[in-house]
Chain A
């Protein structure tokens, strides 16, 4: 197992190099120099901070040298400071000479996005698994067709549109749910339970919106996986030896149909992280997506680069965990891995 892990970690190196290369090339896309106003750079930045940027990215040196130095900085997780938000550190907190701690922007935004994504992944699993199984067991009959219809609509519905409608319906028309932010006014005065309820109310719609397309995708995936497995010989054998149908479905079929789901969930991570832009900017949730969107609008270059790199690294990590989980869950793969 550790040999497999080493091999996987080794393969991540060329990927990381590729990701850094693409991120590096993107910042050279802008016409002219990234520090000039012609490049659409935030006009508020002073001449001084532009000079700092030129030094930071060594723009006077040859491209290859620039890339090497940038890579060196990335490897120490130094993403510099934001232009737009009072020179805050992009990634992690720093302590100045007087001992004041300034929190990093990603440091504050990341936990929120992770929380929303974990909640929406849980929602996806809790809802999509039963839907997929029911759909497969009633193939081409009414429940299956109804579920498949919803799956198709779920794929096609634009998340931001549904977000607007739900926001209007639950927040403006009926006043059931708060329409933006993470906390209500007077949050500090609520008890622990009250704070929790308030927080969850704020998260409900964003989680629902980010789970939407995943819900459709995973239930279709579970359905097709179940159908594949149900037609295999060992299921016929299980039925032939007289096992009750529930045991055939849940012990023999479902367990096999769920295995590929681990990989799919791993692959879904970049979509979830990317999708957070729309949900978070509509509901004004201060997570990675909102941070990124604001940075794009203000051309806050260090923040854009930082989030792009951290987001990709998280995806790689997610895929690694998914592969390890697969190996752990499937004895056949585990065996192959060992050899």
Chain B
């Protein structure tokens, strides 16, 4: 494990992505200490100020400090991304393991479920669910999680199918190991590497989906700050307050880029055969 970590961090792509994510994580974690202002404090004397030493990223239409709001927004983006992918990975691993281990009708049933989910346009599905529930950060995490487990299911199933007939698994089975033991001590640990890669890449798309939803006004609700809804506010002032649109967009871009770099870098480390992506 330690060896893999060292190897992973010696890959320039992965290292670069890791540093980006770690920085954002720290900023988000210590947001209350770093933020110079209360992110929701309205100040009518400081409306739409351009970036300065008092307000690093300027202020918005209600005089709130954009840098402080960005820091708190980072918490939302990271939390939504990680929890949503956590849910998706959990569902995907369980269903994939069941399909790959038991095969037969269990496999057919689960894979048809995957096909069904893949044929419903995901963003429509998310919006439809949000329309019937109230848009809140928890609902968003759950909905994104429930609509993005299909890739992991396929990966885990494929790994299980190929590992199932390997000698060490057969040996353990012959020695009388139960299904539970076979799955958890032999098959699962050996099929996790592609899952890690796809989860890291999954966080990137979850961050994009959350910011898109918030931008459309169906995600994180005001006054709580999210990069997406800071941008929505900024849209109104784009002609005379460029900072309101520039910074949240850049933050999303850099975060998503970070996860993608980390994911692709880890893929290179875990699967040297496919080491093709080089920057």
Residues of A within 8 A of B (CB): 14-15, 18-19, 22-23, 26-27, 29-30, 34, 39-40, 139-140, 144-145, 148-149, 152-153, 155-162, 164-165, 168, 172, 220, 223-224, 227, 267, 270-271, 273-275, 277-278, 281, 292-293, 295-297, 299, 304, 307-308, 311-312, 315-316, 319
Q: Which residues of B contact A156 (CB under 8 A)?
A: 204, 252-254, 256-257, 260
Among A161, A270, A296, point to the contact of B120 (Cβ < 8 A): A270
Q: How far is the CB of A160 from chain B (nearest CB, A)?
A: 5
**Complex-state Cα separation, A289 to B157, whole angstroms:** 34
23 contacts between A and B (CB under 8 A): A18-B112, A22-B116, A26-B132, A27-B132, A139-B276, A145-B278, A156-B252, A156-B254, A156-B260, A158-B208, A158-B211, A158-B253, A161-B249, A224-B276, A270-B121, A271-B121, A271-B122, A273-B124, A278-B215, A281-B216, A292-B124, A296-B218, A312-B120
Pairwise interchain contact B278-A277, C-beta atoms closer than 8 A: no
Partner of B257, one of A145, A152, A160, A168: A152
Check A277 against B216 for contact (C-beta < 8 Å).
yes
Closest to A139 in B: B276
Which B residues are in CB contact (< 8 Å) with A165?
245, 249
CB–CB B120/A315 < 8 A: yes
Q: List 9 additional A-B contacts (Cβ < 8 Å) besides A162-B249, A281-B216, A308-B121.
A: A23-B128, A40-B131, A270-B118, A271-B123, A277-B124, A296-B130, A307-B124, A312-B121, A315-B119
> How near does chain A come to B215, taking the closest CB pair, in angstroms?
5
Chain A CB within 8 A of B279 CB: yes
Verify B238–A29 contact, CB threshold 8 A: no
Task: Using known A-B contacts A30-B132, A278-B212, A296-B218, determine if residue A15 contacts B116 with beta carbons closer than 8 Å.
Answer: yes
Q: Are A39 and B257 in contact (CB under 8 A)?
A: no
Q: Does B129 contact A29, Cβ atoms closer than 8 Å?
A: yes
- With contacts A152-B260, A278-B216, A308-B125 taken as known, whether A164 is within 8 angstroms of B235 at the C-beta atoms is yes
Inter-chain CB contacts under 8 Å: number: 154
Please, which residues of chain A bring their CB within 8 A of the CB of B131? 40, 295-296, 299, 304
Q: How far is the CB of B78 from chain A (nearest CB, A)?
A: 15
A6 to B218, CA, bound (A): 42
Q: Is B133 an interface residue (CB 8 A)?
A: yes
